[in-house]
Amino acid sequence: MKKNKTKKHLKKLNWIIRNTSKLKFHTNLNVLLEPIKNDIQKFKWLISDLEINTSEMGKLPINHEKDWFLISAEEILPFAEGVAEIWKDGNLQVEESEIEIIAWDSVLTIVKFKEEKLSNKFKDYFEEAIELEKYKFKNRYI
């Protein structure tokens, strides 16, 4: 009989990935979303401050025919650089968000979840992920 390998993470919903062999670069959403790709099909997406190779757009688990939007210059979008609140557990910049991903290409990725099930799947796949609160006190600056 095979044992269930799912690990319990005691309501830890905020993770940081600094060193991993799974990601060649921290902005690779195709790899980053791998453990939850079947669970995120229902979500709408708000993507800000993103530089992307358009040939790679088809690889993201986003329905580009339905889940797209136009943003005017007057709209204020969330950003991470210089925002201290991103280091706080449970603080998602867009209140209605279910997941928030903050990726610095060559440094680290912060991933926050509202749903424990998604968080656990993510942590099971990225075992090297560190709790955000534990990381921020050891390393105040990136």
- Residue 4 has a pLDDT of 47
Q: What is the pLDDT of residues 94-122, one digit of tens each?
A: 888 899 888 876 788 899 999 999 999 99
Sheet harboring 14-17: ordered strands across? 99-104, 108-113, 14-17, 130-131
pTM over 0.85: no
Could you count the other beta carbons within 10 Å of the beta carbon of residue 11?
A: 8
> Which residues, in sequence order, are bridge partners of residue 16?
110, 130
Alpha-carbon distance of 69 to 25, in angstroms, equals 26
Per-residue pLDDT at 42 exceeds 90: no
